[in-house]
């Protein structure tokens, strides 16, 4: 029998990898989370009759009520079988620390190529959070797959990692803004404080930014040596920001056609190799220097260690509202391997994985 061609071998590998991930995820069982209730000061959810009926006619009545309400707090995340354990912990942390948890609507983006994966993910969320207001949005991998260039970590090349650039195309038009969160975060403060970040003038995006980082390192010499490309940052003070925690004005995003602007940089990357790191650099090229800075407490990032060795890291100085295990090491993986980092103990209380035994029995 002839040896498969390289593309066929790659396809076989991806199919086998997905099957292995699906089997591992299916073996995971999650317990039901406690229900959290609004405080007396929370506004009631009201919506103008007919405001969202046309675009959400397929939704149930409760979802229709909250998704288009002016009092709703919107949180967007991606969901996949490989990271579902982290996503469940993140959702629990958001609800547990919110003063108005019943006003939160979750927008989960899932890969349309997962086959039955979407129904599995919906069932998993519904079983652990039966009271949760949420919707799942299929993301067409093919819409971005041809634009993705290989990066320093294969995990960053997953099409779903680029879904944050397409939120404005997926989320209902009545939703004015959203907080985007990665799956490897734990929120230990009221999400409303982040969601209500002022976005003055024409600002589209808010996030913690870091102006002491070596900004040039996020791009190759090819970009900096090309005057027409390096001029991109003229009249801007470009600072690094992590796209795992963002507040996005969806109205302004659509008006400015920012999805297309990001895609244009990705198309150029395919021809010239102007950066090395996944979906972050296109965001920096479009937004760095033009975002509203958020207090660093809202993204204590890098807790997963560096991208090569995954070494343990400490918290940055200052208060903490959100812990982010960005980087190679994920807390649930290190805990299962018996090699947790000290800060992984802060993630463990939000882990909803159902173990085969109970310490209380």
What is the DSSP annotation of 223-287?
Answer: HHH-HHHHGGGTT----EE-TTEEEEEHHHHHHTTHHHHHHHHHHHHHHH----STTHHHHHHHH
pLDDT computed for residue 158 by the predictor: 84
Rounded to whole angstroms, the Cα distance separating 361 from 346 reads 25
Q: What is the pLDDT of residue 221?
A: 94
pLDDT of residue 155: 56
At residue 278, the pLDDT reads 82
Residue 52 φ/ψ, nearest 5 degrees: -115, 10
CA distance 177 to 252: 9
pLDDT at 355: 80
What pLDDT is stored for residue 251 in this prediction? 98
Q: Please tell me the predicted confidence (pLDDT) of residue 178.
A: 98
**pLDDT the model gives residue 145:** 81
Q: Mean pLDDT, consecutive 10-residue segments, the chain of 361 residues? A: 40 38 63 96 74 49 77 96 96 98 96 75 96 94 80 67 95 96 98 97 95 90 94 92 97 98 95 88 95 97 80 91 94 95 97 73 38
The pLDDT value recorded for residue 100 is: 97
Question: Residue 93's CB: how many other CB atoms inside 10 A?
Answer: 22
Distance CA 171, CA 181 (A): 15
Global pTM value: 0.87
For residue 141, the model assigns a pLDDT of 86
The answer to whether the beta carbons of residues 222 and 174 sit under 8 Å apart is no
Q: What is the pLDDT of residue 29?
A: 93
Three-state secondary-structure class, residue 313: coil
Distance CA 161, CA 211 (A): 24
pLDDT of residue 54: 46
């Amino acid at each position: 029998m002839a040896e498969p061609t390289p593309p066929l071998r790659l396809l076989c590998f991806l199919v086998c990898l997905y099957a292995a991930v699906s089997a591992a995820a299916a073996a995971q069982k999650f317990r039901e989370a406690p229900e959290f209730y609004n405080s007396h000061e929370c506004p009631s959810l009201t919506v103008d009759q007919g405001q969202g009926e046309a675009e959400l006619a397929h939704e149930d009545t409760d979802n229709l009520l909250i998704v288009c309400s002016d009092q709703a707090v919107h949180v967007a995340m991606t969901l996949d079988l490989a990271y579902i354990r982290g996503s469940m912990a993140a959702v629990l942390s958001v609800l547990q620390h919110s003063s108005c948890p019943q006003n939160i609507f979750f927008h989960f983006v899932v890969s349309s190529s997962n086959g039955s994966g979407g129904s599995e993910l919906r069932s998993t969320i519904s079983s652990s959070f039966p009271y949760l207001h949420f919707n799942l949005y299929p993301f067409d991998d093919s819409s971005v797959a041809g634009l993705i260039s290989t990066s320093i970590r294969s995990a960053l090349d997953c099409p779903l990692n680029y879904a944050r650039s397409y939120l404005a195309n997926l989320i209902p038009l009545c939703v004015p803004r959203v907080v985007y969160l990665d799956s490897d975060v734990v929120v230990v403060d009221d999400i409303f404080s982040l969601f209500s970040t002022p976005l003055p003038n024409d600002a589209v995006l808010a996030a913690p930014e870091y102006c002491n980082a070596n900004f040039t390192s996020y791009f190759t010499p090819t970009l900096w040596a090309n005057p027409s490309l390096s001029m991109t940052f003229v009249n801007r003070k470009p600072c690094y920001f992590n796209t795992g925690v963002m507040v996005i004005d969806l109205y302004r995003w659509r008006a400015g056609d920012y999805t297309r602007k990001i895609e244009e940089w990705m198309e150029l990357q395919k021809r010239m190799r102007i950066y090395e790191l996944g979906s972050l650099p296109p965001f920096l090229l479009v937004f760095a220097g033009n975002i509203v800075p958020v207090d660093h407490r809202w993204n204590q990032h890098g807790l997963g260690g560096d991208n090569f060795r995954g070494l343990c890291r400490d918290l940055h100085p200052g208060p903490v509202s959100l812990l982010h295990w960005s980087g190679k090491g994920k807390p649930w993986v290190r805990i299962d391997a018996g090699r947790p980092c000290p800060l992984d103990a802060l993630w463990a209380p939000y882990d909803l994985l159902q173990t085969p035994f109970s310490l209380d029995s």
